[in-house]
C-alpha cells in the first residue's frame, strides 16, 4: 500500500497548480500501473474538514471532527498495488507524480498466510468466504 501524506507547503503548491494538469499526471501514473498489472485499488481522499477521528483512548470512544492533527500526519490518498517485492513497490512509489513536501509510505498489506499460527480461528476461516463474496479473493 502506498499511503500519501503532504505538508502545508505541498498542499499550497498543489492549490496553485492547474487541477486538470494534476488529474492528467495522476491519471497517467495510474494507467501505467494498470498497464503493468500492479494496481489493485487507489483513491484520493476528501479534505480533512469533512472527516472525523474516533479515539478509543477513553472508556467511551471520543469523536473529533476534522480538521485534526498536523497536516503532514494526514492521510491524503492511497494506492494498493501488488508487486513481487518490497523493492518493486518502492520503485512504483518513486515514480508517483508528487512534489516537494509530499511523502509516500510503503506498507505491506497482510495476507491470511501471515496468520498461519491461527489457521483454526473462526474469523480467519470466514475471511476467505467474505473475500469471495466481496469479489476480492
- Beta strands, E only, 11-136: 39-44, 52-55, 62-65, 77-81, 102-106
More confident residue, 90 or 131: 90
pLDDT value of position 84: 96
Q: What is the pLDDT of residues 81-120, one digit of tens each?
A: 999 999 999 999 999 999 888 999 999 999 888 998 998 9
Tell me how far apart the alpha carbons of residues 54 and 63 are, in angstroms, rounded to a whole number: 5
| Spacing of C-alpha 28 from chain mean position | 18
Whether a cis peptide bond, with omega within 30° of 0, leads into 67 is yes
Domain ranges for the chain: 2-106, 112-137
pLDDT at 123: 92
Q: Which fold, 2-106?
A: Alpha-Beta Plaits (3.30.70)
What is the per-residue pLDDT across 37-80, written as a single tens digit (0 to 9) for each? 999 999 999 988 899 989 999 999 999 998 777 777 788 899 99
Dihedral sign for Cα atoms in the order 54, 51, 2, 98: negative
DSSP class of residue 36 equals H
pLDDT of 33 higher than 90: yes
Cβ atoms 39, 134 nearer than 8 A: no
Q: Pick from 98, 103, 106, 84: which is nearest to 36 by CA?
A: 84
Question: What is the pLDDT, as a whole number, of residue 17?
Answer: 92
Per-residue cell: 85: 517485492
What ranges make up the beta strands (E) of the chain?
2-6, 39-44, 52-55, 62-65, 77-81, 102-106
Amino acid at each position: 500500500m502506498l499511503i500519501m501524506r503532504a505538508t502545508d507547503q505541498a498542499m499550497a503548491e498543489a492549490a496553485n497548480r492547474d487541477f486538470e494538469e494534476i488529474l492528467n499526471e495522476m491519471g497517467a501514473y495510474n494507467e501505467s500501473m494498470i498497464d503493468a498489472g500492479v494496481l489493485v485499488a487507489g483513491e484520493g481522499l476528501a479534505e480533512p474538514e469533512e472527516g472525523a477521528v474516533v479515539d478509543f483512548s477513553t472508556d467511551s470512544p471520543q469523536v473529533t471532527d476534522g480538521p485534526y492533527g498536523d497536516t503532514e500526519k494526514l492521510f491524503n490518498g492511497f494506492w494498493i498495488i501488488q508487486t513481487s517485492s518490497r523493492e518493486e513497490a518502492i520503485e512504483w512509489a518513486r515514480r508517483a507524480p508528487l512534489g516537494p513536501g509530499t511523502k509516500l509510505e510503503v506498507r505491506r498489506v497482510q495476507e491470511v498466510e501471515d496468520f498461519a499460527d491461527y489457521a483454526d480461528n473462526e474469523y480467519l476461516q470466514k475471511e476467505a468466504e467474505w473475500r469471495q463474496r466481496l469479489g476480492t479473493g
